[in-house]
Amino acid sequence: MQKTYLFRLFRHSKAGFLFVAGFIIFYSIVFSKKMDMMFFPYNNMYAIDFYHSSVATTYGMKINGQLVKFTKNLYWKKDLLETSLNAYCRYLEHGNKVFMEDYIASKFKGDKQAFLLKQLTPSRESVQNWPYWFANAAGYDLKPSDGIEFMEYRFNMADGRALCTDSSVIFKTNWR
């Protein structure tokens, strides 16, 4: 007992003990309520099979009909471009809304809601430039009047082959 971490910490520093004990209690409550996203590390990683199939969805952006490629970049940039593109396409599919907009709308009302929406979700104006940032970061030049398309692709991987079974245009416009 006397060798345990919490006991030693208690003997050394009451404030330190209270902080650690408080953290453990709070984290346990959060964790027991399956709110594993409450703190940064993703404990629940790959514990849930959301789709129950070998059909996978991915997104792409085209400039004048040409696919913007990014998988040859080094890991972090590839990851940033891939996940950011996925999130942006889901934003377009979801009526120009991020997940947090629905969450705040369901939990808060009035002034508090307006303030949180302003601070915790991207404004329409700030999002407008995202295609330019993405193209630029991937090494492509996006010029005014260039045609841009956001695509959704479905792959079937069940037979040990990557078969693109379907694709659809999510959003299409000309760059201003």
Q: Which residues, numbered 147-176, are part of the site for other proteins (CB under 8 A)?
A: 153, 155, 157-162, 164
Q: Interaction with other proteins in 14-33: which residues (CB under 8 A)?
A: 16, 20, 31
> Closest separation between CB of residue 15 and other proteins, Å?
11
How many residues form the binding site for other proteins (CB under 8 A)?
82
> Closest separation between CB of residue 138 and other proteins, Å?
10
> Closest separation between CB of residue 132 and other proteins, Å?
8
CA–CA gap between residue 141 and residue 174 (Å, rounded): 14
Residue closer to other proteins by CB (options 54, 174) is 54
Residue closer to other proteins by CB (options 74, 145) is 74
According to DSSP, residue 85 is labeled H
Question: Which H or E run includes 171?
Answer: strand 163-174
Is 7 a residue that touches other proteins (CB under 8 A)?
no
Other CB atoms within 10 A of residue 154 CB: 14
> Closest separation between CB of residue 123 and other proteins, Å?
7
Residue closer to other proteins by CB (options 43, 173) is 43
**Which residues are within 8 A (CB) of 154 and not within 5 positions of it... i.e. 6 or more apart?**
55, 56, 57, 164, 165, 166, 167
Is the separation of the CB atoms in 45 and 37 below 8 Å? Answer: no
What string marks each residue from 96 to 135 as x (binds other proteins by CB under 8 A) or -? --xxx--x------------x--xxxxx-xxxxxx-xxx-
Q: Where are the beta strands (DSSP E) in 32-71?
A: 55-63, 66-67
Strand 66-67 to strand 147-156: parallel, antiparallel, or no bridges (unpaired)?
Answer: unpaired
Q: Interaction with other proteins in 41-100: which residues (CB under 8 A)?
A: 41-49, 51-58, 60, 67, 69-80, 82-84, 86-88, 91, 98-100
Residue 117: name the closest of 96, 138, 137, 103 by CA.
103
